[in-house]
Chain A
């Protein structure tokens, strides 16, 4: 009974995973024959400053979007954990962005942020009237904003579930000991959510490696190469420059990066929980 799933996953999951490593040692234009190329792709890719730049942009977006999303999701998660009806209603509305495709979101924001006809000029708001996608720094900021807009609700829901699992007695005990609300938040809520924080961070970090649709539609990597993340570089090398070998090298880098980050975060989780246990 396990066979159909195993076969499907092997053919379209495991084989391509091995295949991408094999292809990184070949030369292929996407149409013609595939020829072995030794380590030439790797040499070319590792010498290319474009790869390091894409790596840098990927990390920049990963870290900044984590920094924006985590505190906000935590705050909203604690808020949404309250049982009031209006909070449940807010949660329903918060979720709508998650239903939209990244393509739809990118198209919407492209129009919304248009320096001539967007929301800013329409409302005559100086502050919102900028060439948002034409400036390297602003474009990165816009991407981080949109990613947060799209995914903070999702992470808030994860935190909401986590907060609701914290026993009320812990807060009661803390209140008897005279701990204020802020103190309670940092000494009970945050430590109790350690697992949740790690799960949510893993999803954010590994997920950020696959922000392809949004950036492709929004900026196509521009202005210049300032928002060209690894996934986009892979696509451009492979399907626009027809160098599948080089693109495969980048794909291998993405896979390795994902694995290393997931393992690192898991290890962080393990050591944190053991130290937490020791403290008790």
Chain B
């Protein structure tokens, strides 16, 4: 959020000429040759592997070993993509979509309700304790509790189902979601709540007609963050499922790589396909994604 606001501020504050009138601080940021070098070098470090993945995924397996790995494919082929799509990949893709939606929506809803209650019920001991509990959850690597989660899922007879992936993911998403959402709801002016209450609105009514519309950007941010975590999650699917038709993309990628380890272009095509939806999302909603990724940290 801080990022977005400061960027809009930048456009208005940009100095016109760039000459003598530039503030010294800006100048510092402007002519930082060490940072500049680092920036371009880092661009190379980031882009070379990504470029290699995309280029190679369009090369035939037979050419892969022969040519310069960084050259463009002389006759690009879609065979690798066809191979991936004709495997179980669409199934993994669908599973990932289901699990992501089945996590992001409920997690957003219950975290929003909790955040609303925590902000509106300031002073309640119970709510303060609950909030403290959620905050504690931020400091603990929750993945370390995977063994009891596995036990719970077995006892609930949910092992090897997509629901088994959603429930713990929702729980793991709560701490940060509540933190971000409470910070946001707190910014809603108290007078607005007061005037609505005088008009006879219930808490549920205010939650729906006042807090929800004003908090929508934060909800999107939280949703993107949680969605990305679930989409890329590997440990839960690895431990809580076993049948091939329950695999989500990262686990599917891993098994695909095991099967086709000699066919590097096909493996890389699967990497591209599994990442494509997120890259498209990134292209559309870059700002919200960025603020989602640094949610609560860039103060």
Using CB atoms and an 8 Å cutoff, list the residues of chain A in contact with chain B.
1-2, 4-6, 8-9, 11-17, 19-20, 23, 30, 72, 75-76, 78-84, 87-88, 90, 92-104, 107-112, 114, 117-119, 122-123, 149, 152-154, 157-158, 160-172, 174-175, 181, 184, 195, 199-200, 203, 206, 209-210, 212-213, 216-217, 231, 234-235, 238-239, 244, 247-248, 251-252, 254-255, 258-259, 262-263
**Contacting pair B232 A23 (CB below 8 A):** no
Establish whether residues B28 and A149, one from each chain, have CB atoms under 8 Å apart when the complex forms.
no
| Residue of A whose beta carbon sits closest to that of B116 | A1
The verdict on B275 contacting chain A, using a C-beta distance below 8 Å, is yes
Whether the pair A76, B25 counts as a contact (CB closer than 8 A) is: no
A93 engages B46 (CB within 8 Å): yes
Answer whether residue B90 sits at the interface, using C-beta atoms and an 8 A cutoff: no
Number of interface residues of B (CB under 8 A): 102
A152 and B207 contacting across the interface, CB-CB below 8 Å: no
B149 within 8 A of A: yes
User: Which of B69, B152, B168, B297 gathers the greatest number of chain A CB atoms within 10 Å?
Assistant: B297
**Which of A13, A84, A118 touches B171 (beta carbons < 8 Å)?**
A13
Q: How far is the CA of A149 from the CA of B53 in the complex (A)?
A: 15
CB <8 Å contact, B152 and A171: no
Q: Per a CB cutoff under 8 Å, which of A8, A76, A84, A248 touches B174?
A: A8
Interface of A is mostly: helix
A112 adjacent to B49 (CB under 8 Å): yes
* CB 8 Å contact bits of B56-71 with A (1 = contact, 0 = none): 0000000011011110
Beta-carbon contact of A168 and B26 below 8 Å: yes
B150 to chain A, nearest CB (A): 8
Given contacts A8-B110, A76-B39, A157-B3, contact A81 B29 (CB under 8 A): yes
- Distance, CA A252 to CA B140, complexed state (A): 11
22 pairs from A and B in contact (CB 8 Å cutoff): A1-B117, A6-B133, A23-B147, A75-B38, A93-B46, A93-B47, A94-B43, A97-B50, A101-B249, A102-B250, A104-B250, A107-B253, A108-B271, A111-B264, A117-B64, A149-B49, A160-B298, A168-B25, A200-B297, A247-B147, A251-B144, A262-B139
Residues on B with beta carbons closer than 8 Å to the beta carbon of A94: 42-43, 46
- For residue A92, which residues in chain B have a CB less than 8 angstroms away from its CB? 286
User: Given A9-B133, A157-B290: A16 and B152 within 8 A (CB)?
Assistant: yes
Chain B interface (Cβ < 8 Å from any Cβ of A): 2-3, 6-7, 10, 13-14, 23-26, 28-30, 32, 34-36, 38-39, 42-43, 45-47, 49-50, 52-53, 64-65, 67-70, 109-111, 113-114, 116-118, 121, 127, 130, 133-134, 137, 139-152, 167-168, 170-172, 174-175, 178, 203, 207, 228, 231-235, 239, 249-251, 253-254, 257, 264, 267-268, 271, 274-275, 278-279, 282, 286, 290, 293-294, 297-299
Shortest distance from the beta carbon of A184 to any chain B beta carbon, whole Å: 6
Of the candidates B167, B207, B253, the one whose C-beta lies within 8 Å of that of A103 is B253
